[in-house]
Chain A
Amino acid sequence: MTQLPAPGATPAAPPPAEPLPTTTPARPRWRETLGLLARNPTAAVSATVLVLIVLVAVFDETLAPYGPNEQDPSLQLQPPSRDHPFGTDEFGRDVFSRVILGAGTSLRVGFLSVAFALVVGTLIGLVAGYYGRWVDDTLMRLMDVLFAFPAVLLAIAIVAIRGAGPANAILAIGIVYVPIFARVTRASVLGVREEVYVRASRSVGASDWRLITRHVLPNAAPPIIVQTSVSLAFAVLAEAALSFLGLGPRRPNPSWGLMLADGRGFIEQAWWYAVFPGLAIVVTVLCFNLLGDGLRDVLDPRQRTLMAGGGR
């Protein structure tokens, strides 16, 4: 109904397609964002590499030349060759295939845990920021408690209590990142809440639900999107750390962290065993981080004007 144009760079926001905080402000803005992102070389390269990694994870079984547990004792710890581009491990398994098949594990845990943190954290932040007062105090102090623990330590504690396994790893990493999303969302909502268009909408009798979904959330979204990308980097890293410590997927499932842990003992005889899974982790984490940086540049209005003005 009553839609007032947002001040600044944001044109009228159409209703979001999903009830979740997604990246759907106005289409022109969406296009503009992509365009700016494409002109940021680091972000563009990172995004491309990430798309490739996701594709690898999706088509892993087609791409992997060998099965994850195909053993051949006669090929123990062979250096990289044409048949085994990343060499073989102590069971004669193909490290290349296992790195490919491990991508799915890492990304699945990464995406699902961040999705959990995103949904729960954003909801908490929205409610806290929008309603304020004691609701805000209660929720945010709770978040502070969670925030007080070092992230990986908290994740290890949660997994230790609930038992090892991918599902618990997802939950643990998810819980660890809830407070960050809650804080980012709340801060952003506090700013948007008092905007003229929100007050106007409220004065004509719009419901809280409508206000939150139509006006507050879409306009508070950019920092959350940036946070999502950065969190993905940390989540993939945390997954690797948990697996390395034996708290993630069980052997013999392929997992980058586990391969790194196992390969560590062979670093003198077979560098490829630990190096390639390690590289996979580094590249993925780095790309999520760089993409996050790029997104921040693009979505932060001030920075954005600067870029649109032609320069960085």
Chain B
Amino acid sequence: MRTNRLLPLAAAAALLLSACGGGESVDTGGGGGGGDDVLIAAVSAEPDQFDPHVTNAYASFQVLENVYDTLVVPSAEDLTMQPSLAESWTTSPDGLSWTFTLRDGVPFHDGSEFDSADVVYSFNRIIDEELTNAYRFATVSDVTAPDPRTVVVTLTEPTPNLLAQIGSFKGMAIVSENAAEEFDLQSEANGTGPFRLESSDANATVLTAFDEHWGGAPSIDGVEFRYITEPTAALTALRNGEIQWTDNVPPQNVADLEGDDEVELGSVTSVEYFYMSMNYAVPPFDNRDVRRAIATAVDREEVTQAARFGAAQPNQTAIPQGSPWYLDYAPFTPDQEAARQLLEQAGVQTPITMGLMVTDESPETVAAAQVIASQLEPIGIDVEIQEEDLATWLDRQSEGEFDAFMLSWIGNIDPADFYENQHLSTGGSNYQGYSNPQVDDLLSRAATEPDQAARKALYDQAAQLVVDDVSYLYLYNPDEVQAWAPGLTGYQVRADAAIDFQNVELP
């Protein structure tokens, strides 16, 4: 179960993954929020802090999603960018200047009025202090406010995915001007979202409805997030009525739950992807044929079945089916005979040993590794499964001390988020050491290509090379599975795993 996904792709440690949540027990005493209609939601980990511009933890964003707004926001249906705090925007013909018209009459939680100065302050805070998501503003040269309702973003080069860069998730949230001086953003919040942050401690984080919200008052009085690490415990709490919602659902229970009257289930293929990667600096894995032999021997259907009990989509590329950026490309058909021939062709003396590094904090990888080990054994590759704690895992990854490793990323929305950091020669997360000038060229051209169709074509070409070279051996996109009490309405499971309780109504 993922616990503490660090959100995406930051150059540094955007390793999306679970860190062991503290293992708190269920607090059955109802220390609720303001009114009676409080939604009690169980999440698997406690937020590390509440500064949206600093945190990298999924547990924090689960809460912040309901507290802050961004200029634009991904739609629940297909993750295309929709107006939020910005009502509309225009792009200059050269693509170097974007003008945003802001919504009128938006109050912050402290009563002050939202205007363009808040946007300038928020963006400059991220850029000037080089906070977690500063890399998303890499092409931004200037953010100005000609009048209270207008913000102009000036760029050094065309950035067709600017909307995704500033709106994918609440890491680019708009805080009130000088919020960092007026509030302790680590533990307080002053946003424009539908809920205000009331309190947070080791047992729960409590939100209360913000009735003056620009999109209308939420239908519930508040939300209480409780931390339940064990998925089975979360499910039991849901059945008992202690909680009304959870995203901590054991994959092996999904099939049973589908026919269960006591629990309602929502599921959608997420933008997360699991992959395996081999070290280009360690022979024989530097040999393309060896990597292709391994990619040919792996049967993704079997991996998915054992690791996710079918609650996932096998995929040979990163971007899930259903995304407008999806590429239908599956060059590998599981075939052990062909794999053996490829190995022979490569001139490799079998048996060879391959250490496969996984982490117990992502149990799916431990399961997937065992399936892959049994699939590679017949072609003469002896897989030694190395289970490490996440800290050691990350150390070994950055030191390059591995034959192969396995984990997942939340790819998010734009294809740049899926490929740049991992497969550019200079990519911050290119730990495998992949370097293909053609891919570098395609990715950098795609980054500035204004035409959507042409841009997709470039990313498609890059993705095909990445798959063919087996820079990553892509495995599957897991389903985002969430469960709630029957009768709870107005909630929708999203592919980007953002949790939005604004329109929820309790049974």
The verdict on A246 contacting B387 (CB below 8 Å), with A69-B374, A76-B309 known, is: yes
B255 to chain A: closest CB distance in Å? 9
Q: How many residues of A contact B (CB 8 A)?
A: 17
Chain A residues 93 to 141 lying within 8 A of chain B, measured CB to CB, are: none
Q: Is B144 an interface residue (CB 8 A)?
A: no
A69 to B232, CA, bound (A): 27
Interface contact B305-A269, CB-CB below 8 Å? no
The verdict on A251 contacting B370 (CB below 8 Å), with A73-B306, A76-B305, A265-B232 known, is: yes
CB-CB under 8 A from B370, the residues of chain A are: 69, 71, 91, 251-252
Name B residues whose Cβ lies closer than 8 Å to a Cβ of A: 232, 250, 252-253, 256, 301-302, 305-306, 309, 360, 363, 366-367, 369-371, 373-374, 377, 384-387
The verdict on A76 contacting B306 (CB below 8 Å), with A251-B366, A251-B387 known, is: yes
Interface contact A90-B387, CB-CB below 8 Å? no
Q: Is A210 an interface residue (CB 8 A)?
A: no
A94 to chain B: closest CB distance in Å? 13
Interface contact A268-B374, CB-CB below 8 Å? no
Interface contact B256-A269, CB-CB below 8 Å? yes
Closest to A89 in B: B306
Q: What are the interface flags for A47-83 relative to B under an 8 Å C-beta threshold, 1 for contact and 0 otherwise?
A: 0000000000000000000000111010011000000
Closest to A92 in B: B306
A259 to chain B: closest CB distance in Å? 13
CB-CB under 8 A from B366, the residues of chain A are: 251
The verdict on A246 contacting B232 (CB below 8 Å), with A69-B373, A71-B371, A90-B252 known, is: no
A252 to B252, CA, bound (A): 20
Closest to B235 in A: A268
A250 to B302, CA, bound (A): 21
CB-CB under 8 A from B232, the residues of chain A are: 265, 268
Q: Can you identify 25 A-B contacts, CB atoms within 8 angstroms?
A: A69-B373, A69-B374, A69-B377, A70-B374, A71-B302, A71-B306, A71-B371, A73-B302, A73-B306, A73-B371, A76-B305, A76-B306, A77-B252, A90-B306, A91-B367, A91-B370, A91-B374, A250-B386, A250-B387, A251-B366, A265-B232, A265-B252, A265-B363, A268-B232, A269-B256
Q: Is A271 an interface residue (CB 8 A)?
A: no
CB-CB under 8 A from B371, the residues of chain A are: 71, 73, 91
Interface contact B385-A266, CB-CB below 8 Å? no
Closest to A77 in B: B252
CB-CB under 8 A from B385, the residues of chain A are: 250-252
Interface contact A250-B384, CB-CB below 8 Å? yes
Main secondary structure of the interface of A (DSSP, over half): loop
A76 to B310, CA, bound (A): 11
CB-CB under 8 A from B377, the residues of chain A are: 69
CB-CB under 8 A from B301, the residues of chain A are: 73
Q: What are the interface flags for A234-251 relative to B under an 8 Å C-beta threshold, 1 for contact and 0 otherwise?
A: 000000000000100011
Closest to A270 in B: B252
CB-CB under 8 A from A70, the residues of chain B are: 374
B307 to chain A: closest CB distance in Å? 9
Closest to B231 in A: A265
CB-CB under 8 A from B256, the residues of chain A are: 268-269
Interface contact A90-B367, CB-CB below 8 Å? yes
A250 to B371, CA, bound (A): 14
Interface contact B387-A268, CB-CB below 8 Å? no
CB-CB under 8 A from A250, the residues of chain B are: 384-387
Nearest 8 Cβ contacts at the A-B interface:
A73-B302, A73-B305, A252-B370, A71-B374, A91-B306, A69-B374, A251-B385, A90-B306
A174 to B228, CA, bound (A): 38
A252 to B366, CA, bound (A): 9
Closest to B304 in A: A73
CB-CB under 8 A from A266, the residues of chain B are: 252
Chain A residues 252 to 284 lying within 8 A of chain B, measured CB to CB, are: 252, 265-266, 268-269
A87 to chain B: closest CB distance in Å? 14
B323 to chain A: closest CB distance in Å? 27
Closest to B303 in A: A73
Interface contact A269-B252, CB-CB below 8 Å? yes
A187 to chain B: closest CB distance in Å? 42
CB-CB under 8 A from A252, the residues of chain B are: 370, 373-374, 385
CB-CB under 8 A from B309, the residues of chain A are: 76, 90
CB-CB under 8 A from A269, the residues of chain B are: 252-253, 256
A269 to B371, CA, bound (A): 21
A70 to B374, CA, bound (A): 8
B390 to chain A: closest CB distance in Å? 13
A266 to B232, CA, bound (A): 9
Closest to B383 in A: A252
B372 to chain A: closest CB distance in Å? 11
